[in-house]
């Protein structure tokens, strides 16, 4: 696990965008796993800026989003379909047929639908780079506390804490979704590389538990300690409760020095 400490949200966003842009440049047909939420907004804006400079081509990129609220139509302003279109897809040259987001309006056999989403990921060759945020209770995707660490894409009931966190995004009096379709922890773990972003004091305890705490289903992000290639990018506020910040900074400094040495 690599922990990158950035001074603020803007620097975090630039660093994350550089990593995603590098993945696209090195593999023009890369499969990206995408996340929504306020922490990703700066990253998407920075990727769009790089794209407009003419150095990125998304025409052969395939994307799979982590999750979607159940019962929310794609054109609803709080749907993740809407979020991705408005904040990313409409600003780059990605092919709509290559973008995949769970269908929140699905009815009937949820298990069959979720299995088909997993199958689409497998048929595409798996996810090369998975982007994540982290919830205040340490969840990734909508894998709430007590989720199985081997879980696959499925229908998940949201905690009261997550519902309350989401309330501010909806119109007063509007019904708040209580369930979502989400990639499972096992699905996320299958990605070849994982990038997780965290910003702000409200995420500090979750970040500390995910990076330095025990691996536990009570903090599903802690499962990332088991993955061979995970990078946390966090700002100073989100890093405020980490015990080993000085060591993470030393690793960053040494990595930069090693990268500067000429290859023989």
CATH number, domain with residue 146:
3.40.50.1360
| CA 246/CA 95 separation, integer angstroms | 43
Q: What string of DSSP letters covers 185-248?
A: HHHHHTSSEEEEEE-SGGGHHHHHHHHHS--BTTBGGGGGGGSSSEEEEEETTTTTT-S-HHHH
Distance CA 209, CA 11 (A): 23
The residues that are catalytic are 67, 137, 139, 144
Q: What is the mean predicted confidence (pLDDT) over 145-160?
A: 96
In this predicted structure, what is the pLDDT of residue 260?
A: 67
Is residue 239 a contact partner of residue 206, using CB atoms and an 8 Å limit?
no
Say how many residues make up the chain: 264
- Residue 225: both structure tokens together: 């300690």
**pLDDT tens for residues 111-137?**
999 999 999 999 999 999 999 999 999
pLDDT classification of 255: cutoffs 50, 70, 90: confident
First to last CA, the chain: 27
The DSSP letter of residue 114 is: H
Point out the least confidently predicted range of 51-60, 219-228, 255-264: 255-264
Domain total in the chain? 1
Distance CA 65, CA 120 (A): 12
Nearest to 139 by CA among 104, 172, 188: 188
DSSP for residue 89 = G
pLDDT in tens, 176-207: 999 999 999 999 999 999 999 999 999 999 99
Query: 145 near 229, Cβ under 8 Å?
Result: no
Q: In terms of residue numbers, what domain contains 229?
A: 2-260
């Amino acid at each position: 696990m690599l922990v990158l400490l950035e001074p603020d949200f803007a620097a975090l966003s630039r660093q994350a965008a550089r990593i995603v842009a590098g993945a696209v440049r090195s593999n023009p047909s890369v499969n990206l796993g995408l996340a929504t939420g306020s922490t990703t907004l700066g990253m998407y804006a920075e990727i769009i800026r790089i794209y407009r400079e003419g150095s990125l081509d998304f025409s052969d990129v395939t994307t799979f989003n982590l999750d979607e609220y159940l019962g929310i139509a794609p054109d609803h302003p709080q749907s993740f379909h809407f979020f991705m279109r408005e904040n990313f897809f409409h600003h780059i040259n990605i092919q709509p047929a290559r973008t995949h987001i769970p269908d929140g309006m699905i009815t009937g056999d949820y298990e069959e639908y979720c299995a088909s989403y997993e199958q689409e990921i497998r048929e595409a060759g798996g996810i090369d780079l998975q982007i994540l945020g982290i919830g205040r209770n340490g969840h990734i995707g909508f894998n709430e506390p007590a989720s199985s660490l081997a879980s696959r894409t499925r229908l998940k009931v949201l905690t009261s804490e997550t519902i309350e966190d989401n309330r501010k995004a909806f119109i007063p009096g509007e019904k708040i979704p209580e369930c979502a379709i989400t990639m499972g922890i096992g699905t996320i773990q299958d990605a070849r590389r994982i990038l997780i972003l965290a910003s702000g004091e409200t995420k500090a305890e979750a970040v500390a538990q995910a990076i330095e705490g025990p691996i536990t289903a009570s903090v599903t992000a802690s499962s990332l300690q088991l993955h061979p290639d995970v990078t946390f990018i966090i700002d100073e506020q989100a890093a405020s409760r980490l015990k080993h910040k000085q060591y993470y900074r030393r690793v960053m400094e040494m990595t930069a020095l090693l990268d500067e040495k000429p290859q023989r």
